[in-house]
Structure 1
Amino acid sequence: MKREWKHLKYCLNKGPILVDTTERGTEVTLSTVSPYSYKGFKCTATALRTPCRDPNDRASNEKWLENDQVEPFSSVGYPSSNYGGDGSNEWRFCAVDSNDKIEVNCDAFHVGGAFFDCLDDTFTISNVDSTSKFCGIAGPTSVMTSERGTSVKLRVYTGEIYDGFTCTAKAVRAEICMNATNRANNEVWLDTGKSESFTSQNYPSNYGSGASAEWVFCAVNDTDKISITCSDFQVGGKFIFCLDDYMTISNINSGQDPYCGSDKPDSVVTTQRGTTVKLSVSPTVHYKGFNCTATAVNQ
């Protein structure tokens, strides 16, 4: 039976850069049908191991991350200089725990030009379900892989034009509160009736622009829920809708959040055994914040 190959086409000055095959072999074909002559190409083929195969047998180019561990990475020369024409690079990140995935976030990003699509340089993330290619100033934000590992690539076709990026890769649990005996580092597990207090940064003083955070609470008893109650709450401004900062609580009935202003959660009970509470903070105005409690309840 003839094998069907997926073909990628390259022409002009945009040749293959850091292109990996999906199988152990490939065919490279040069088709010349034009009456004109061109300079041609000089390329290399390298045998590479499939990323993130085994945490006990790690490749030298892989960075393995424990749950909740963060690894920063940036383009060459960032932030003092542009990445230049030789800035193409690859980073491979792997989660040690097979239940974890890799989440990629970029704090600063300027890679290539963009006009509906990428015009030249590109930033790609493998093993993701949504957008995997980024360019211009629209970098990845909380992009999570569908597998335990990923290959992040910067493909450069230009010279010293664009600023580059600074990003982080983080090993995160694919689903919260999966297993009480294999807990993620950011999960707080509560027995029935037990509570855990949590506050915004600097509370009772105002929080700062870098105060965005999240908390994950899980009920040990799989039939329990989590109740969130705040005794003091001043997060962002509100005029019908939230104006800037706000709190969200996952796995609750629709229409209950976000919470902002002085409208605080009061005995808000989740629909599942676990929840993620997030504080999203703008870079400008700061507020007092909150003092809240999470409790595992049997209801």
Structure 2
Amino acid sequence: MDERRKGRGKEGPPSPPCTSRSFSEELSSCERDVYPLPTGYPHGLCVIINIKTFMKPRGVEDNFPLVERHGSDIDKERLTGTFKLFGFHVMHFDNPDYQQLQQFFRRLRMDPRLAVVACLAVCVMTHGDENDNIYLHDRTCISTTDLRKLCFSQALLNKPRLYFIQACRGNEGLRPILLQQDNTIVTHSESDCLISAATVQGFTAVRSQTEGSWYITDLCQALQEYGHIMPIKNVLQKTRQNLKSRMGSMNNTYVTQLSEEKVTLIRDVQLVRAEEEHFLEGIAILTQLEVMEKLLEEALEEVIESQDNLESLTSSLINVKFS
């Protein structure tokens, strides 16, 4: 769901710390049962699948609306910068169709880096439905269960696989308790997985055309602030707390959003900050994004002001004409 003007004030992404910390500094006070920590670069692989545009309907059977997802590029850059802070090698895959998605993960399963990384993260941004299907560029869909199977490799045995899904899971708006719009999550028995959905089943997920989605924004903010000192389950609790405090409007109704997780992890997942070179790459991306968002916000304010001035001028002319 697009959301043009939100009730929550613009805060912008938090400024990540400007220095990296050693593994021992990050976790010296922790005595948790955690998955093995990374031993070198990359710490993990992060696949960002951004489906922004969709083909036109080919017949009556698929003649349902899949509009362009304005604002998703902002989400992509925010995720890229955030995961680079934690030493992930980030791979982008824009607007794949079903066959391209299959081929991509077939190649990924043979990638030798899977044997050395500590974690796989898959971020998907697209439209979805109440049955936990996510839509691809060619209007075909794949269930989140099948997506998880596509990502599995023997090299990932006993390693955490994290899935973050920004998509609608229905058309209902969650009212205060308030609306939610996003898709995902799956019921499965395989261990070492975490699936975080932007919304609960049956509801929508909010996305701003100029600031990106609520879920991705709050997820990245929580990761930047707490990802190096808290396990991922606690980071997602922070994300949910931030989402719960948001309020926007859709179809003249106040709405909110709440994320949801399915977890089969058997240990805690603790992210570790990247070494300085890769950490600064993430800082640079997030800084550029913040500047771009400010420029977009200023441009939008000018457009709104121009519209208000035009309406005022039109009203004045009408009054003069009929006076």
Q: Greater strand share, 1 or 2?
A: 1
Quick one: higher RCO (CA 8 Å, sep 6+), 1 or 2?
A: 2
Same fold (TM over 0.5): no
Q: Greater helix share, 1 or 2?
A: 2
Using the size of structure 1 for normalisation, the TM-score is 0.24
Using the size of structure 2 for normalisation, the TM-score is 0.23
